[in-house]
Amino acid sequence: MRYKRIGVIGASLIASVCLLSGLMYYFNQVDPHGVLDWFGSDRDSVREVVREFVCDATDTPRCKYDMCRASCQGYSEIPRNLSSQTNSINLYDSSIQHVQTDAFAQYSELRILYLDGTDIHEIEIGAFANLTKLFWLCLDNNKISKLLPGHFTDLINLESLKVNQNRITIADLSDLEGCSNLSFINLSDNQLTSKTLKLPHLPALHEISMQKNMIKTIDENTFRNLEQLEELNLAFNKITSLPLNVFRPLKNLTRLELGYNELHNLPMAVLSPLTRLHSLDLEDISLDSFEKNAFDVFQQLDYVYFKKFHYCATYAPKAQRCRPSSDGVSSLSHLLDKTLLRAAVWVISCVTCMGNVLVLWGRFTAKDENRVLTIIIRNLAVSDTLMGIYLFVIAVADMIFRDNYNQVAISWMSSWFCTSLGVLAMTSLEVSVLILSFMSLERYMLIAAPLKGHRTMTPQTASASMIVTWIIGVTLALVPVIHWRSSTRFYGVNGMCFPLHIDDPYSIGWEYSAFIFLGLNLTGLITIGYVYAGMFVSIWKTRHACSLSVGDSEFALRFFLIVLTDAACWAPIIILKIRALLKYPIPADLHAWVVVFILPVNSAVNPLLYTFTTPKFRERLSDGWFGKVRNYVTRKSSAEANCKSIQNIKLRIENYRCPNIFVTDCRCTYMQVQAPSPEARSSTEVVVEIC
């Protein structure tokens, strides 16, 4: 009996689930908004819609009916012969350029109207007259230029109005004054300005989107009639300033999007009245003048979107989700976010410093006949050493700020120490570029054009040239500091204190950055490539009759490596800057990899190319430490071999009892006395010759 009850209960439950699923599927097919749209809706009762499913039979070409919902394709005007009981019309793949007056007057039961993508250019006054039950109107993706009084007459029950992706320059929504059901308006992606937009009193409006328009300023009274507004989207406009009280009437606003505008100064007083904010989008807006923890006044703030990641920790530490969490270089916890970057900075800085210090030691201690080249190489090594010092300081700073970078990010990047570090790196970079270009031209004149009256440079001229080069390099690095002396933002745009302007191509000082990398550095790269190609061709022509010797192969390889390393250092940065200025997307974390791995390439490789691989250095190396080590190893090997030979001879001569011969610790002493026999005398001579 017990099992029978269990079976009955189980069968009943299964039957109930199947019945409920069938009903949901059925109503999902007939309800134009779906089952889930029943809940929380302010529309007329769903029962009223269901009662009107039966429509008059019509035979309209290119139209399909699903209950009382009509979908029509390929029309050039509004169809007039649909059922008068139609409650939904969807026109697609049509070209209705002109919507005439009373075009829908006979469809008084219409609730939903889709006219998106129908190439509408003009709407006549009274086009939607008599549609008192319409609650959904979609006019997206057309070519409408004006919305004037009279266009929306009689739409007293309208709930959603979508007119995005048009060419609207004037939007006067006075016809919707006092509309008690209108909760959503989308005017995005048009050409509206603040002077051509008129929003009447809309007591039920909860959301309005006006992103991607031409709005530059907003009047202080623009939103005074929208007391119930909860979501406002003004992103991707051209807003340069906002009145202090512009958002004061919006006491219920929970979501505000202002990102990607041209706001240069956004006072906190503009946002402070919005105490109920849950989500705030301020992407691509600089907020450097805000005080620490400025957004703590928004007690309900959950989501914040900033331009720079360190704003999160500085201004909104209590927000549950804040973006971006990293700028590709640093994170909220570390100056250098990735472990590989930390290790690479230490390795590259040490290699660069050690290599160039060895070059300086070698050039100062050696007596080189070519004093001009020595002077140039010394200055190049000093310049490259500065790049190593810059990377070393960044590595030390990362170690000091580990796990608490969010607390010092703003102060670090705005500090004069960070600015000085950037000046050091920029000086190193530009002096190296100038010296390499100068050295290339000087070599070219000597090798490729020796008969054109070019005199050999004197050491005094070389020294003067290097002094001028350093003055130019330091000046180039200091100009942005002097020009933007009221701000440290040229070098303090990121935690590495070096501006490449590839992640934010149009931030402060972008013109000067473009001049440096696309002007001077690109010119230097072209110059070096051209003159080394000219030198190679000139030398090759003088030796074309001879087979390529090992020396010629080495010279060709060195020329190739010189040009290759210069290109590897500057070409990627130049290409990235051009792409960034053309607004191609650049990965955010690419900046750190460029500064750590690409920028120091020349500084780390120059010692190898201009000193360590030269014949004179290899000769000095052979005669110096390496020579001493080699001689020591050779002598030790010879001594061991001699020792074995002596031990063998000692055993042989002991039979002759030669008291005047001593063999101790592989060393021989021969006393010149008469041997007792010819054999002994002969043996002593053998020992002397070996020792």
Strands 667-670 and 661-664 come out as antiparallel
Which residues does the chain have with pLDDT short of 70?
A: 1-54, 56-58, 368-369, 448-455, 486-488, 543-560, 613-691
**Alpha-carbon torsion angle 339, 343, 348, 349, nearest 10:** 110
In the chain, the amino acid numbered 538 is S
Q: Residue 317: its pLDDT value, please?
A: 82
Packing angle between helix 371-400 and helix 339-365, nearest 10 degrees?
150
> Is the fold of 72-214 the same as that of 220-325?
yes
Strands 88-92 and 69-73 come out as parallel
Question: How is 79-139 classified by DSSP, letter by letter?
Answer: -S-S-TT--EEEEES----EE-TTTTTT-TT--EEE-TTS---EE-TTTTTT-TT--EEE-
Q: Residue 659: its pLDDT value, please?
A: 43
Q: Residue 65: its pLDDT value, please?
A: 84
Q: How far apart are CA 636 and CA 308, in angstroms?
A: 65
Q: How far apart are CA 153 and CA 156, in angstroms?
A: 8
Domain coordinates in residue numbering, the chain: 72-214, 220-325, 334-620
Q: What is the pLDDT of residues 447-488, one digit of tens each?
A: 766 555 556 778 899 999 999 999 999 999 999 998 887 666
| Domain covering 72-214: architecture | Alpha-Beta Horseshoe (3.80)
Q: Residue 26: its pLDDT value, please?
A: 46
Superfamily grouping for domain 220-325: Ribonuclease Inhibitor (3.80.10.10)
Q: Residue 450: its pLDDT value, please?
A: 59
Q: How far apart are CA 19 and CA 375, in angstroms?
A: 94
- pTM, two decimals, is 0.65
The helix (H) or strand (E) run that includes residue 73 is strand 69-73
Question: How is 143-182 classified by DSSP, letter by letter?
Answer: ---EE-TTTTTT-TT--EEE--SS--SEEE-GGGTT-SS-
Q: Which residues contact 259 (CB under 8 A, 6 or more apart)?
A: 235, 236, 281, 282, 283, 284, 285, 305
The verdict on domain 334-620 having CATH code 3.40.50.1820 is: no
Q: What is the pLDDT of residues 625-672, one digit of tens each?
A: 555 555 555 565 555 555 555 555 555 545 444 444 444 333 333 333
In the chain, the amino acid numbered 139 is L
Q: Residue 163: its pLDDT value, please?
A: 97
CB atoms under 10 Å from CB of 68, counted, come to 23
Q: How far apart are CA 34 and CA 21, in angstroms?
A: 14
What is the CA angle 36-38-39, rounded to 5? 80
Q: Residue 671: its pLDDT value, please?
A: 38
SS3 readout for 244-302: CCCCCCCCCCCEEECCCCCCCCCCHHHHCCCCCCCEEECCCCCCCCCCCCHHHHCCCCC
Burial class (CB in 10 A: 0-12, 13-18, 19+), 308: buried
The 3-state DSSP class for residue 627 equals helix
Q: How far apart are CA 154 and CA 169, in angstroms?
A: 23
Q: Residue 679: its pLDDT value, please?
A: 43
Is-contact 384 602, C-beta < 8 A? yes
Q: Which residues contact 149 (CB under 8 A, 6 or more apart)?
A: 172, 174, 175
